[in-house]
Structure formats: C-alpha cells, structure tokens
Amino acid sequence: MKSRTRILLIGSIGILACVLAWYVHVASVELARMDDIRELVFRKIIPKDGTAYMSVGYINNNATTTTRFLNFFRKQPRFQEIVFIDPRDTFLERLHDLKIDFKRASQTKRNGDDVVDKQTGKHATIYFVENFKHVSNLEYEVYAGTHCGTHCGESDSYLVGYENGGWHIKSKYNHFDSIH
C-alpha cells in the first residue's frame, strides 16, 4: 500500500508540475503580447523629442474604507492618491531607437496642481498605457494618454488588433483632453 501511495503522490506532483509549467508559459506569452501592444501605443503617443516620463499603470494609494466608498462615485482617483507603476528596463530597451530621454514616472512629484521632475523642478508629462481589456483572441482595448497635472492631460481608449503578422491600432476613442 505504501508503494501505491508513493506512486500516486509522485504522479500527482508530476501532473501539478506540468500544469504549473503550462501556466507559466501562457503568462509569459501574454506578457510579451501586452508589451508588444504597449510599445505600439507608446510609439503613437510619446513626443518625437524631449523627455517622456513613462508609466505602465497606477495604484490607488488610498487605503481607507471611507475614501474607497467615496471614490466609487468618481471615475478616476485623485492625483494625490495615485502611485504610478514604472516600466521594466527590458520594456524601455524596446524604445531605444527613439531620440527621446525616457524617465520613469516615479521621478516626478506633485507641485500644487502640476507634475514636476523631482530633481529639476521643471514641468513634466507622464505618458501611460494601462488597463488592458481582452476584447477577442486578437483584439485588446487599452487605456492610454498623458498626465501633467490636476487639470492637464489626455486619456484615450485604443482598440488594437493583430493583422498581417503584427499589432495595429484599429480605432481611438477620446475620453478626456485638457491642456492648461
């Protein structure tokens, strides 16, 4: 009986290892797909020269239950409550051919209603691509735009599809546009 239990245990561990390896593979394929889409949209929205502060998402940094309840009625969290997520170095390497100074969104801070570079104090614009929504096997909707202060920025949704061996922007929907 002990040898049968041992065989069942080893077999179960083997099956679990195969399932885990499959999930890791699927996750890495999906991450690469998201990076391809993110690169496409960043190339569309970032300027041709100057400095771009990059973000691949944000976290609402306000943990109080009361504020979460009040935030339910707002479409976007307030800037003071946002912590931007910096892109990985491997992602930024994809954009090495562009003639632009890339910095991370974490290198900015709030100064009144504006976003500024922490070191220089100069005005800064954060470019973001985030919130991937799987529309179909070969289509995603992503939320992207700029953030440069309380009443300064742009946000759009892009429908991105895979055709003819590559990802292409199929349509764009503007949500908000306010530059002060």
pLDDT of 84-132, one tens digit each? 889 999 999 999 999 899 999 999 988 888 899 999 999 999 999 988 8
The answer to the question of residue 6 being in a domain is no
Q: pLDDT confidence of 77, banded at 50, 70, 90?
A: very low
- 5: which 2 tokens? 């239990």
What pLDDT, on a 0 to 100 scale, did the predictor assign at position 79?
A: 47
The answer to the question of residue 158 being in a domain is yes
The answer to the question of residue 147 being in a domain is yes
Please say if the pLDDT value at position 151 is more than 70: yes
The answer to the question of residue 28 being in a domain is no
Q: Which of 56, 76, 36, 60 is nearest to 129 (CA)?
A: 56
The answer to the question of residue 7 being in a domain is no
The answer to the question of residue 2 being in a domain is no
End-to-end CA distance of the chain: 77
Residue found under tokens 């991105």: 160
The answer to the question of residue 161 being in a domain is yes
Please say if the pLDDT value at position 5 is more than 60: yes
Backbone angles phi, psi at 63, to 5 degrees: -100, 0
Under 8 Å between Cβ of 128 and 56: yes
Look at the chain and report how many structural domains it folds into. 1
The answer to the question of residue 142 being in a domain is yes
Between 167 and 137, the higher pLDDT residue:
167
Instruction: Give the structural domain span for 151.
Output: 34-178
Under 8 Å between Cβ of 123 and 116: yes
Q: pTM score, two decimals?
A: 0.74
Under 8 Å between Cβ of 52 and 127: yes
| Chain segment 33-45, per-residue pLDDT in tens | 889 999 999 999 9
Length of the chain as a residue count: 180
Backbone angles phi, psi at 77, to 5 degrees: -65, 155
